[in-house]
C-alpha cells in the first residue's frame, strides 16, 4: 500500500458540488467521479447560488428540495452516493441563515451515517455551503475552487463573495484551477495549490477516429464547420458569433450545448445550427464534424479568472482552436490561435482552416495527453494525504 493509499484508507469524502444531473459536465463531476474510484464519496448537490426572485414559485421549489433532502442517499455506483441538501434561498430574511446552517448540518450528518462514512474529508467545489466547513466532524477540509463564483451572472455577488473568502480562510487546503486566482487566494490561505483542469483524452481523441460516426444532425453540413461545445450562457459573446456567421455566410456554425440565455439572434441566421444539449460521451462525435473549434467568451471579470474546461477538450480532439485571451488560454498559445477583436478572430479562423494538417492535430493532442483527470486527482490526493492526521491521531 502506498503512502497516499495508507493515509486515505478508512476515510471517505463528503463532496459539495454542482447538481450531479446537470446537463453540462463540469470539473465538479469529473473530479468526484475519479475520487469515487479511490474511496467512498457522498456527493451533495448544492443548489442555491443564484439570487432568487421573491416569488411563490421560488419558495415552493425550495420547500420541495428540502423535502427531497429527507430521502436516503441515492447510489450512483458502489461506494458512490448522491443526495440533495439544499438551502432556503431567501438568505436576507431573518432566521433563514440559522435554519440553513442547522438543517444542512443535520441533513449531511444523517446522510453520512446512512452510507456508513464515519471518518471523512469535506470537499467543497462551490462556496455557498461553506458554512458547513469544520462542522461535520471531518479530519480535513478541502476547498477546490474552480471559478470566480461571485462574477457569475445572476448570483448574489456580495453574499457569494463573502462565502468564497470565508471558505478560503477556513479550509485546511485550498486548490485553485484558474491561474489568475492563485495569488489572491494564496494571500488568504497559504495552504493554497494550483490544480488546473484535466481532460478525458481517450474520449475526445475519438473525434479523429475514422470509425467514430457523425450524429445525423451533423451530417451534410456546408463546409467549413466552425464548432462550439458548451452551455450557451450570458458569458458567451453571441454578437461575435453572429458577426462571424454574417461575414462568412457559406460557413456553418455548429453550437452544441444547452441554451441558458436568449439565442434568438443566432436562431435567425441560416448558417447557424443549434444542436442543444448532448450526452457527454457523444461529444467527440459532434467534434468530428468541426473544421475548427472556438472559445467565444465575453471579456469580463468572470472570463479573465476562468480556466476553460473546453480548452483541453478541444485540443484533445486535435481540431484547430481559435479563442479570446485569458491567462490560462495564453499558456497554450503554441497550439491555440488567440484573437483580441472581431477582425482578429475571423482572420485567425481563416488561418486555422488553411493550415490544418494531421501533424498539427497530433501536436495538439500531445499538448494535453499527460493532463488527464486521473493524473490531476492523484496529484491533489498526494497533497491531501500529506496534510491528513495520522491514523493514531485521528482515532
Question: Do 179 and 66 share a domain, yes or no?
Answer: yes
State whether 40 and 178 are in the same domain. yes
How many independent structural domains does the chain possess?
2
Distance CA 387, CA 379 (A): 13
pLDDT digits (tens, 9 = 90+) for 163-215: 999 999 999 999 999 988 999 999 999 999 999 999 999 999 999 999 999 99
**CA geometry: angle 203, 209, 214, nearest 5 deg:** 85
| 48 & 107 share domain | yes
CA dihedral sign of residues 266, 272, 276, 278:
negative
Contact (Cβ atoms closer than 8 angstroms) between residue 130 and residue 163: yes
Q: The domain that contains 296 carries what CATH number?
A: 3.40.50.2000
Give yes or no for residue 390 having a pLDDT over 50. yes
381, 364: one domain: no
> Helix, strand, coil % (nearest 5) of the chain?
45, 20, 40
Residue 392 has pLDDT above 50, yes or no: no
* Residue of higher predicted confidence among 393 and 114: 114
| Domain ranges, residue 234 | 201-368
The answer to whether residues 86 and 215 belong to one domain is no
- The span from the CA of 72 to the CA of 114, in Å, is 7
**What's the mean pLDDT when you consider all of the chain?**
90
Within this chain, do residues 246 and 171 fall inside the same structural domain, yes or no?
no
Backbone φ and ψ for 15, nearest 5 degrees, come out as: -115, 120
Average pLDDT over residues 324-344: 94
CATH number, domain of 174, equals 3.40.50.11010
Q: Residue 286 burial (CB < 10 Å; 0-12/13-18/19+)?
A: buried
**91 band by pLDDT with thresholds 50, 70 and 90:** low
| Secondary structure of residue 227 in the 3-state scheme | strand
My answer on whether 140 and 221 are in the same domain is no
| Cβ–Cβ under 8 Å, residues 315 and 364 | yes
One domain, residues 183 and 243? no
Kindly state whether residues 164 and 95 are assigned to the same domain: yes
Instruction: Classify residue 81 as left (phi > 0), alpha (psi -120 to 50) or beta.
Output: beta
Average pLDDT over residues 292-315: 90
CB atoms within 10 A of CB 34: 20
Q: Are residues 272 and 138 in the same domain?
A: no
Nearest to 34 by CA among 141, 105, 125: 125
Question: What is the full DSSP assignment across 335-365?
Answer: TSEE-SSHHHHHHHHHHHHHH--HHHHHHHH
Q: The C-alpha cell of 220 is what?
A: 451534410
Q: 3-state DSSP call for residue 66?
A: helix
- Alpha carbon separation from 57 to 49, 94, 154 (Å, rounded): 17, 20, 17
Same domain, 161 and 208: no
Q: 89 and 160: one domain?
A: yes
Helices 179-188 and 157-170: crossing angle, nearest 10°? 60
pTM above 0.75, yes or no: yes
pLDDT of residue 395: 40
Amino acid at each position: 500500500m502506498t503512502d497516499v493509499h495508507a493515509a486515505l484508507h478508512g476515510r471517505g469524502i463528503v463532496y459539495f458540488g454542482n447538481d450531479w444531473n446537470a446537463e453540462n459536465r463540469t470539473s465538479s463531476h469529473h473530479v468526484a467521479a475519479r475520487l469515487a474510484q479511490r474511496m467512498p464519496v457522498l456527493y451533495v448537490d448544492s443548489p442555491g447560488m443564484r439570487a432568487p426572485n421573491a416569488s411563490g414559485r421560488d419558495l415552493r421549489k425550495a420547500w420541495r428540495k428540502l423535502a427531497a433532502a429527507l430521502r436516503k442517499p441515492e447510489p450512483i455506483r458502489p461506494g458512490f452516493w448522491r443526495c440533495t441538501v439544499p438551502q432556503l434561498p431567501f438568505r436576507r430574511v431573518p432566521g433563514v441563515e440559522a435554519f440553513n446552517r442547522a438543517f444542512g448540518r443535520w441533513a449531511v450528518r444523517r446522510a453520512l451515517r446512512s452510507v456508513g462514512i464515519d471518518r471523512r474529508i469535506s470537499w467543497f467545489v462551490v462556496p455557498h455551503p461553506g458554512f458547513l466547513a469544520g462542522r461535520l466532524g471531518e479530519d480535513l477540509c478541502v476547498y477546490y475552487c474552480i471559478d470566480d463564483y461571485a462574477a457569475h451572472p445572476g448570483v448574489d455577488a456580495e453574499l457569494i463573495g463573502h462565502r468564497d473568502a470565508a471558505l478560503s480562510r477556513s479550509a485546511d487546503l485550498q486548490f485553485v484551477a484558474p491561474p489568475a486566482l492563485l495569488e489572491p487566494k494564496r494571500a488568504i490561505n497559504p495552504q493554497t495549490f494550483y490544480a488546473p483542469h484535466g481532460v478525458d483524452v481517450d474520449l475526445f481523441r475519438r473525434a479523429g477516429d475514422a470509425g467514430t460516426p457523425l450524429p445525423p444532425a451533423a451530417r451534410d453540413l456546408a463546409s467549413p464547420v466552425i464548432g462550439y461545445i458548451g452551455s450557451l450562457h450570458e458569458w458567451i459573446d453571441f454578437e461575435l458569433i453572429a458577426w462571424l456567421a454574417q461575414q462568412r455566410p457559406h460557413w456553418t456554425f455548429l453550437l452544441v450545448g444547452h441554451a441558458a440565455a436568449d439565442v434568438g439572434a443566432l436562431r435567425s441566421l441560416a448558417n447557424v445550427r443549434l444542436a442543444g444539449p448532448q450526452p457527454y460521451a457523444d461529444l467527440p462525435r459532434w467534434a468530428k464534424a468541426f473544421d475548427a473549434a472556438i472559445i467565444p467568451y465575453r471579456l469580463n471579470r468572470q472570463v479573465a479568472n476562468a480556466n476553460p474546461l473546453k480548452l483541453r477538450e478541444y485540443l484533445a480532439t486535435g481540431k484547430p482552436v481559435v479563442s479570446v485571451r485569458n491567462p490560462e488560454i495564453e499558456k497554450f498559445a503554441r497550439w491555440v490561435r488567440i484573437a483580441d477583436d472581431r477582425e482578429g478572430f475571423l482572420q485567425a479562423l481563416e488561418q486555422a482552416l488553411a493550415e490544418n494538417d494531421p501533424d498539427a492535430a497530433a501536436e495538439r493532442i500531445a499538448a494535453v495527453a499527460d493532463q488527464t483527470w486521473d493524473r490531476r486527482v492523484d496529484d491533489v490526493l498526494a497533497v491531501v494525504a500529506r496534510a491528513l492526521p495520522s491514523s493514531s491521531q485521528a482515532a
